Structure 1
Amino acid sequence: MSNIRALCYPYLTMAWRHRWWSVVLAWLICVLCWGAIMLIPSKYEVSARLYIDSDVVLTPLLKGIGLESAPANQIDMLHRTLLSRPNIETLIARTSLKSSVASPAAMQMLAYRLANEVKVVTPAKNLFSVTYSDSDPVRTYEVVNSLLAIFIESRSASSRNDIDGARRFLSEQIDIYAEKLKKAEVRKKEFYDSYADLLPDPAGGLSHLDTAIAQVASLKTQLADNRLKLVVLKKELMNTPSALSVAPDGARARPGPTVAASPDLTRAELNLEALRLRYTEQNPDVVRARELVARLRASGLGVNAVDTAARVIPNPTYERVKNDIVEAELAAALLTQRLAAMTQERDRLQAMSREKPNVLNDYVTIKREYEEAYNGHAELLRRYEAMRLTEAADSGGDKSKVKIVDPPVVPLNPIFPRRQMLATAALALGLCVGIGLPLVLKQFDRSFHSLMELEDLGLPIAGGISAINKPRPLLWRAVDVSALSFALLALVATNFVLILRVFEV
């Protein structure tokens, strides 16, 4: 304890000895700092936030039929163009900043400074924030408020300009494509009229050439069937008796003088002829049919004696077969005539096709050009209608609404400097300097304040003689302590007064 007292005693002595110098220095430091704080220019900040609200009812209705303009794209576009040079010049002209512009160089410097000092950020989706700081609170408010107005005007003007430009472009393109469509349609019709026989039916059918080829093949098949029918009928006619003998009592008798084959033999021979037309002689069906005919002929079936007493009458079956042969021959003649005419038409179309081998490719190209013109014209009309709906939605439906979430207000308190905090820091600095002054002076003091300091030198000490000071009256000491306390309290009180009155804003 004694060592601590001995250590602190010199400093306390030095502090008491230079107490008034410490107080004066503390006051001087505080006054200088307070004056400097008052001279620091104030800086005010104004901030505003906007929210672009997409219409939750109108936007889905226009999806797919109107031109989509996402609010996020609008924010990004306006974010990039809001601080452009024309907008900055408009901002200067609308606020009191125009009074500080005396030359084009000053205008350029002011525009550059505003572009750097105005902060435009998007802190959240569809949220748009504008912040500006200046020494004049009213001017700061004017800048932010004017920027908001420019923002809304730019959005409307940009939308109108885009729609007007799109309308002009679409109208021009619609006229161009209408002319192209008209020319393509005329060219397609003229080409089709010239080569209609070689081109497919527009309704989806075959061309005249393909139809002629198919009809020739069909007529050949019909003619071959008819000729086969004639062969079978003639064979049947040969095996059918032309007359029948009838007994006197009216009952049918056996055939007369002529020899008639058995119906079984006739059917077997007809079957054999039909199989030979379809298969070879080695086919099992042909072999069996041939063996059956041989057995019937060997058995002598169908040959009967003629009853001399019977009466001979015409055979109706024979007459029917003759009629069938006549009809078949007539049909064969007609088919032959039709086949000749159709073959001639097919040959003519094939000759035309050989002369114009690329007709189909040319027609496909012309048709594709017509379809491209038609589709392009239809798509442009659809987009024009979508643009019209978008224009109506932007102007009347208010598809995207701009809401000012935090409107700008004239600031009352500056954001810099924080004078109350700085005033307190100045008081703390003054007190620290006042307290530190005795400590600094102690480092230059060569006197000894106690015997213990002398003992630290390692020298023998015979004794000590205290200084005899003239005692001061108790009242004087009380006044001295009171004055010191008053000076310190006045310093602290002055700081509080400045904080509450002078630095309250």
Structure 2
Amino acid sequence: MEEILRQALVILRATWQHRRLGMLVAWVVGAIAAGVILRIPDKYEASARIFVDTQSILKPLMSGLAVQPNVEQQVMMLSRTLISRPNVEKLIRMADLDLNLNGKAEREALTERLTKTLTISSVGRDNLYTIAYRDSDPGKAQRVVQALVSIFVESSLGDKRQDSDSARKFIDEQIRNYEKKLQDAEGRLKEFKLRNVDLYTADGKNSTEHLSELTNMLNSSRLALREAENSRDAMRRQIVGEEPVLLPEAPGADSGVSLPEIDGRIDTQKRNLDNLLQRYTDQHPDVVGARRLIKDLEDQKRQELIARKKFAAANPGSSVSNNPVYQQLKVSLAESEANVASLRARVSEYESRYRRAVDLLKTQPQLEAEYTQLNRDYDIHKKNYEQLVTRRESAELSGDLESAGSVADFRLIDPPRASPNPVAPNRLILLPTGLVLALVTGLFAAFIASQIRPVFFDGKTLRDVTGLPLLGTVSLIPNEARRTKERTSLHRFLLATAGLVIAYGAGIAMLTFLSQRAA
């Protein structure tokens, strides 16, 4: 550390030896810097503020019906891409900046300069934008800002209508394609239903339920057929039996004589009575009424048998075929035969339907899979078609909404105005900077001179630099004349330094006075 301090002191002493050269360089540099700073042309700034109002009343009203563009993002992107080469060239024409241009090179230079100096900045988060431009001519700066404001407003949402038309054309083409697909799917579905009409019943039941219903109906029809055949066979036995049942017999034989009409009713009422006794007691009105009806039917049967016996006794020579009861049995037998034939036809039809249902049930899984696939394709095409129609309506509403011009409202808060006083250069900052630059340059010049013409102040430094043995050193004892000369030189240096600082201070004071007077 001590060695470093010693070397620093040596360098400072060597630099101090060339202080007059350093001060001269500082004055020269200071004068040049002051001249340059004072000759920098004044820059006047023109600015304007624009507010973009994106809170339109149509936005909540059309929510869900029309496509809502992100207006804030579009405006932000527009502000960032507004200063493009085509817009700058358009701005040059609008602001009449090309009147004094000679050749393409000057136009290119002006375009590049405007691209670098034009500024568009966002103020906070309230969609407030500031457009600014600086130029030595305040009128030109104001024209440039006015032209840029016009371009900014005109370019707000310029191509959105064209984008909506292109989107609507694309959607219309897709709708036509899906209409054709939907018609083809409907045709295939209709042909499948016509080919397999047996899959569907009027009440909407599936094949399993339909087969179960056919099985029940077939069993019921077979049971009714057996009952009809048994009734018919009983009638036949009465008619073609060895002894006719219509002739009078011994007392007590009435119980073995059958009258189909009355006996059928008696059997029905007895079954009804059994059902009633399972739910009610003997004193229930329905039970009492059923028993009374059975008793009346039995009395009617006895009266009918008595009448037949009387007729047989009164006509002992009449044949069985001429007996009216016999004739009645023949008629009943014919009716039973017709009923049996009808039931046989019904059973045959139900059996045929049952077999068809069984055959259909075997192939039903494959048919159902084919139907499901057809129905799935139809549903997908229908869903896409409906969505496209909805999107087309939304696109039309969006286009109308954009044509209304109220999605975003551009308001000019502060019109383009050029500042009356120059905003650049800031000479109050540049002049102190020039003074510091002059002093640093003078110090650097003195240091360089000390390195070019080095001076040794002690024996150790001389011995280290030359590498030669040092026998001794001779000290200089200054006399009064030398001390006076050194004091004079120091005073001159201090006066020169103070003069440079005072000169710059006077310039700064003068500029401050003039700026306050102009304000």
In which range does the TM-score fall when normalised by the shorter chain? 0.5 to 0.7
Tell me: CA distance 1:119–1:364, structure 2 relative to 1, closer, same or farther (3 Å): farther
**How much does 1:66 deviate?**
0.7
Greater mean deviation of Cα atoms: 95-104 or 32-41: 95-104
- Corresponding residue of 1:213: 211
Matched residue type, 2:514: R
Q: Does residue 62 of structure 1 match 2:62?
A: yes
Unmatched runs of 5 consecutive residues or more in structure 2: 1-23, 236-244, 259-265, 275-304, 310-329, 442-478, 482-500
Tell me: CA distance 1:334–1:417, structure 2 relative to 1, closer, same or farther (3 Å): farther
Unmatched runs of 5 consecutive residues or more in structure 1: 1-23, 246-252, 261-265, 275-310, 316-321, 434-463, 467-487
Give the match's secondary structure for 1:409. Answer: strand
CA RMSD of aligned residues (A): 6.3
Tell me: CA distance 1:393–1:489, structure 2 relative to 1, closer, same or farther (3 Å): same
**How much does 1:69 deviate?**
1.0
- Corresponding residue of 1:415: 423
**How much does 1:312 deviate?**
4.3
- Corresponding residue of 1:156: 157
Q: Distance in 2 between matches of 1:385 and 1:33?
A: 70
TM-score (norm 1): 0.56
Residues 328-349 of structure 1, C-alpha deviation per residue, up to 9 Å, x if partnerless? 9877754542342244345457
Tell me: CA distance 1:89–1:232, structure 2 relative to 1, closer, same or farther (3 Å): farther
Query: Contact 2:56 / 2:408 at 8 angstroms: preserved in 1?
Result: no
Tell me: CA distance 1:135–1:214, structure 2 relative to 1, closer, same or farther (3 Å): same
Alignment of 1:128-143 (within 5 A): 129-136=129-136, 137-143=138-144
Q: Distance in 2 between matches of 1:338 and 1:109?
A: 106
**How much does 1:158 deviate?**
1.8
Alignment of 1:29-44 (within 5 A): 33-44=33-44
Residues 189-234 of structure 1, C-alpha deviation per residue, up to 9 Å, x if partnerless? 6514641414547x99246x66753542231242355368679989
Tell me: CA distance 1:397–1:154, structure 2 relative to 1, closer, same or farther (3 Å): closer
Match of 2:371 among 340, 343, 363: 363
Match of 1:381 among 363, 367, 389: 389
Q: How many residue pairs end up in the alignment?
A: 408
TM-score (norm 2): 0.55
**How much does 1:45 deviate?**
4.2
Q: Distance in 1 between matches of 2:31 and 2:331?
A: 146
Query: Contact 1:130 / 1:144 at 8 angstroms: preserved in 2?
Result: no
Q: Distance in 2 between matches of 1:101 and 1:327?
A: 123
Query: Contact 1:52 / 1:400 at 8 angstroms: preserved in 2?
Result: yes
- Corresponding residue of 2:5: none
Matched residue type, 2:217: L
- Corresponding residue of 1:180: 181
Tell me: CA distance 1:403–1:411, structure 2 relative to 1, closer, same or farther (3 Å): same
Greater mean deviation of Cα atoms: 82-91 or 489-498: 489-498
Matched residue type, 2:157: S
Q: Distance in 2 between matches of 1:170 and 1:397?
A: 24
Matched residue type, 2:214: V
Alignment of 1:372-451 (within 5 A): 372-396=380-404, 398-422=406-430
- Corresponding residue of 2:514: 501
Give the match's secondary structure for 1:408. Answer: strand
**How much does 1:68 deviate?**
1.2
Query: Contact 1:215 / 1:342 at 8 angstroms: preserved in 2?
Result: no
- Corresponding residue of 1:298: none
Alignment of 1:465-504 (within 5 A): 496-501=509-514, 504=518
Q: Distance in 1 between matches of 2:76 and 2:334?
A: 93
Q: Distance in 1 between matches of 2:229 and 2:197?
A: 38
Matched residue type, 1:205: G
**How much does 1:65 deviate?**
0.8
Tell me: CA distance 1:196–1:35, structure 2 relative to 1, closer, same or farther (3 Å): same
Matched residue type, 2:159: S
Tell me: CA distance 1:69–1:333, structure 2 relative to 1, closer, same or farther (3 Å): farther
**How much does 1:85 deviate?**
3.8
Tell me: CA distance 1:218–1:498, structure 2 relative to 1, closer, same or farther (3 Å): same
Q: Distance in 2 between matches of 1:80 and 1:123?
A: 14
Residues 58-79 of structure 1, C-alpha deviation per residue, up to 9 Å, x if partnerless? 2111111111112223224424
Match of 2:220 among 214, 219, 222: 222
**How much does 1:102 deviate?**
5.5
Q: Distance in 2 between matches of 1:213 and 1:235?
A: 33
Q: Distance in 2 between matches of 1:465 and 1:213?
A: 143
Query: Contact 1:50 / 1:402 at 8 angstroms: preserved in 2?
Result: yes
Residues 113-169 of structure 1, C-alpha deviation per residue, up to 9 Å, x if partnerless? 544544444454452535444333444444443333223222232222212222322
Identical aligned residues as a percent: 25
Matched residue type, 1:223: S
Q: Distance in 2 between matches of 1:254 and 1:51?
A: 122
Q: Distance in 2 between matches of 1:49 and 1:200?
A: 74
Matched residue type, 2:158: A
User: Which one has more relative contact order, counting CA pairs under 8 Å at least 6 apart?
Assistant: 2
Query: Contact 1:75 / 1:126 at 8 angstroms: preserved in 2?
Result: no
- Corresponding residue of 1:279: none
Q: Distance in 1 between matches of 2:480 and 2:84?
A: 86
- Corresponding residue of 2:146: 145
Query: Contact 1:184 / 1:369 at 8 angstroms: preserved in 2?
Result: yes
